[in-house]
Amino acid sequence: MIRIGIDAMGGDHAPRVVVEGAILAAQKFDDVLLKLVGPEERLRSLVLECGGDASRLEFADAPDVVEMHESPVEALRQKPRSSIRKLASLLKDGQCVAIFGAGNTGAMVAAATMYLGLLPGVKRAGIAVAIPVGQPPVILIDVGANVQCKPAHLVQYGIMASEFARRVYGVERPTVGLLNVGEEEEKGHALAKDAQELFRSAPISFAGNVEGRDIYRGTTNVVVCDGFVGNVVLKVSEGMWERVTEMFKHELAGRGGGAGAGAGAGAGSGAAALAQALAGLRARFDYNEYGGAPLLGVHGTVLIGHGRSDAKAVASAIRWTREMHRAQLNQAIVEAITAMPVDAGGGA
């Protein structure tokens, strides 16, 4: 049994959608045991209300919640009984092997770093996101754990994400690009320039600089950037996808279809085709399909979800949490990081 802890209070639509997602996942995977963390009584009654099988779920009581707007480190200190802090302690105590939460990202990162600790040799944890541009997806790291990066952090991100691509997506020799403003070596700010040499001496397939558009072209398997830039990339993509979808629906409405993805009754076949195309695009591109992003570099398997996750996204994230755990990624990361010379960003 793979025991996975879930922050039932994490995300904009918690706890209901988290409970619904957990019920979905419990039905689908009979080798996982899900432990819902939050106000126990409330969660128990919510499971019943949602028609879930309570015997497939466990509960860990945590009456407090770290809100989305709270300062992560302060909130964790001031709320020792928060669901995020409890989640981390469950993993630390061996009551589960993996955790997932869609709440305050900074608090998830801080709790994992402070209570679980970094893997041997790792200098900073990084959040990796699989961008669904094709099979395999492009791994973008870091998307927000570390907004003030040093060159060695970037190189370690390249190493960790390479192991992620290899172990979880089966890419034999993942190529790694450094996100920059141009392909030439001398381009970019001090961080990007200083990182070049370290990257070249790292035990990865470094492909040099890549540009923003390369992320969606799949030029390399892995794209490395600091957490500030990665966070902006992710949110810009999200905003643009929303906008394009909206415009598409507008076109659809103008042709007699409904505003939803399904063509309304009485819509012409043109509108129906548009509605189908939109649904097709959405299935291939919607971030909700992925659900969770691993925090690489900490002990245990830690997945972070999008605040706006729905039940399907939660269930999908639980599936990925399970995959990640089975891939024994951390062992591979420790081997790769410690194999690297100290002066090239290694930690041995």
Q: Which is nearer to a copy of itself, 214 or 310 (CB)?
A: 214
Instruction: Quote the least distance from Cβ 158 to a copy of itself, whole Å.
Output: 17
The span from the CA of 36 to the CA of 128, in Å, is 24
Q: Which is nearer to a copy of itself, 32 or 179 (CB)?
A: 179
49, burial (CB in 10 Å: exposed 0-12, middle 13-18, buried 19+) = exposed
Q: Which is nearer to a copy of itself, 105 or 162 (CB)?
A: 105
Order of strands, sheet of 222-224, starting from the edge strand that comes earlier in the sequence: 57-61, 32-38, 2-7, 98-101, 301-305, 292-296, 126-131, 138-141, 222-224, 175-179, 205-210
Q: Which is nearer to a copy of itself, 1 or 213 (CB)?
A: 213
- Could you list the beta-strand ranges (E) of the chain: 2-7, 32-38, 57-61, 98-101, 126-131, 138-141, 175-179, 205-210, 222-224, 292-296, 301-305
Q: Which is nearer to a copy of itself, 7 or 226 (CB)?
A: 226
In the numeric block, the tokens 């793979």 are attached to: 2
Q: Which is nearer to a copy of itself, 69 or 266 (CB)?
A: 69
Instruction: Quote the least distance from Cβ 74 to a copy of itself, whole Å.
Output: 10
Angle (CA) 196-198-203 rounded to 5° is: 115
Contacting positions for a copy of itself (CB under 8 A)? 69, 71, 133, 144, 147-148, 179, 181, 183-184, 186, 188-190, 192, 211-217, 225-229, 231-244, 247-248, 251-252, 255, 268-274, 276-277, 280-281, 284-285
Q: Which is nearer to a copy of itself, 79 or 249 (CB)?
A: 249
Instruction: Quote the least distance from Cβ 327 to a copy of itself, whole Å.
Output: 27
Instruction: Quote the least distance from Cβ 272 to a copy of itself, whole Å.
Output: 7
Q: Which is nearer to a copy of itself, 267 or 315 (CB)?
A: 267
Angle (CA) 115-121-122 rounded to 5° is: 60
Instruction: Quote the least distance from Cβ 126 to a copy of itself, whole Å.
Output: 14
Is-contact 221 165, C-beta < 8 A?
yes
Assigned token pair, 145: 């754990």
Instruction: Quote the least distance from Cβ 133 to a copy of itself, whole Å.
Output: 6
Instruction: Quote the least distance from Cβ 328 to a copy of itself, whole Å.
Output: 31
Assigned token pair, 132: 């669904």
Instruction: Quote the least distance from Cβ 128 to a copy of itself, whole Å.
Output: 16
Is-contact 242 216, C-beta < 8 A?
no
In the numeric block, the tokens 């994400």 are attached to: 161
Tell me the sheet residues that pair with 64: 82
In the numeric block, the tokens 């192991």 are attached to: 163
